């Protein structure tokens, strides 16, 4: 594996709109196939790399991270060449106007750069100066003058739209880009697979690059029903609240290490969240302490990830934990993370999975 910065600059450049993740599916499959002969891609695009354990009697572990990104889909091509769109996943309206986007051809083999139009400042109506319009009022400009010109570029209703890639290092330790959520997790899977190649685990470990998290949060479910692992760790990002606007709403910062989730929840009704398996969570926390890696306790309302549903998959459910890297400006094209947190998370995850065996009692109520 190259450096964290080099790898993430590359991984974040790969377009993979939720439900159309084939570019990242190919990438992750190729990475895994260089490390294990047992790689499978299911019908949803989930990539499953299996690393056989030393003893088949040892418990199995599944570690997963989603490869897809949020974005837009073209819903209408206007006669004058402007494009209308709907959201795929939680794209915040406030980040869109004046933004560069990549609009992909229907066959996914090419793209053009477009912009989301915004009012000319000098002619902005008073009522629009302090508001963010809804997406049905927005449009994309690709420099076309007619619908025929748009369609000649291979773009039509159903075309995928992703943030235009722009990767930067800022300050001494920070990186900023689109899709750090969850290409950070993808990088951690690649590092884990490399580690398992050289250090066979006690029991079988499944390393899974999953799909459709940003759209319906359930894309990885078939993997859990098929494999029914004894335990699982979901790898993703969490929300850093060390900016002036959030003002430490939750005690989560960049540069203070990875985060062990205590609870997350969508925040409405019973739409779901995750409360991790206590013995597995404590095992992760003790491993971090033993490694002398600083870490943070993560509780966030308003966040939901795919382990909210996989925890109850199968005939007995799964002992689930959630391991995360703090990140600022979620779901925007300027997501920002600290390389030191990512480096620590990689080291920790490799050790956690390497130490996992039958000596950890995951039973409840004992």
- The rounded distance, in Å, linking the Cα atoms of 350 and 338 is 19
User: Considering only CA atoms, which of 163, 132, 137, 120 is closest in space to residue 84?
Assistant: 137
Q: How far is CA 200 from CA 1, 17, 287, 354, in A?
A: 18, 34, 19, 8
> Using an 8 Å Cβ cutoff, are 324 and 235 in contact?
yes
- The rounded distance, in Å, linking the Cα atoms of 101 and 30 is 27
320: left (phi over 0), alpha (psi -120 to 50) or beta: beta
**Cα 304–chain centre separation:** 12
Catalytic residue among 69, 213, 214, 335: 213
| Helices and strands (H and E) in the chain: how many | 8, 18
| Paired residues of 41 in beta bridges | 47
- The rounded distance, in Å, linking the Cα atoms of 127 and 156 is 33
In the annotation, is 194 catalytic? no
Run of H or E including 65: strand 61-66
Q: Where do we find the tokens 């689930």? A: 320
Provide the annotated active-site residues: 213
């Amino acid at each position: 594996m190259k450096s964290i910065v080099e790898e993430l600059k590359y991984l974040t450049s790969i377009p993979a709109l939720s439900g159309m993740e084939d570019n990242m599916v190919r990438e992750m499959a190729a990475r895994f196939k260089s490390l294990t002969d047992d790689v499978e891609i299911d019908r949803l695009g989930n990539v499953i790399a299996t690393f056989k354990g030393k003893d088949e009697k040892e418990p199995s572990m599944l570690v997963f991270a989603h490869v897809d990104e949020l974005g837009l889909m073209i819903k209408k091509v206007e006669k004058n060449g402007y494009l209308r769109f709907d959201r795929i996943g939680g794209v915040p309206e406030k980040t869109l106007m004046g933004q560069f986007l990549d609009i992909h051809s229907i066959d996914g083999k090419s793209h053009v750069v477009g912009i989301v139009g915004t009012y000319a400042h000098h002619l902005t109506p008073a009522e629009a100066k302090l508001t963010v319009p809804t997406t049905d009022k927005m449009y994309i400009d690709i420099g076309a003058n007619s619908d025929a010109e748009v369609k000649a570029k291979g773009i039509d209703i159903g075309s995928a739209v992703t943030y235009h890639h722009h990767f930067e290092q800022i300050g001494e330790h920070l990186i900023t880009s689109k899709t750090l959520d969850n290409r950070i997790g993808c990088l951690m899977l690649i590092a884990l697979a490399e580690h398992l190649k050289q250090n066979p685990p006690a029991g079988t470990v499944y390393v899974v690059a999953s799909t459709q998290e940003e759209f319906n949060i359930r894309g990885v479910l078939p993997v859990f029903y098929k494999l029914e692992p004894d335990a699982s760790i979901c790898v993703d990002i969490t929300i850093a609240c060390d900016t002036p606007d959030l003002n430490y709403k939750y005690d989560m910062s960049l540069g203070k290490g990875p985060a062990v989730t205590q609870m997350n929840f969508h925040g409405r009704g019973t739409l779901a969240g995750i409360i991790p398996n206590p013995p597995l969570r404590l095992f992760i926390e003790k491993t971090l302490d033993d490694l002398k890696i600083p870490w943070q306790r993560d509780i966030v309302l308003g966040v939901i990830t795919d382990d909210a549903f996989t925890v109850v998959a199968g005939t007995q459910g799964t002992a689930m934990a959630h391991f995360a890297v703090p990140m600022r400006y979620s779901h925007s094209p300027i997501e920002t993370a600290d390389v030191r947190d990512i480096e620590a998370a990689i080291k920790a995850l490799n050790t956690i999975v390497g130490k996992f065996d039958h000596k950890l009692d995951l039973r409840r109520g004992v």
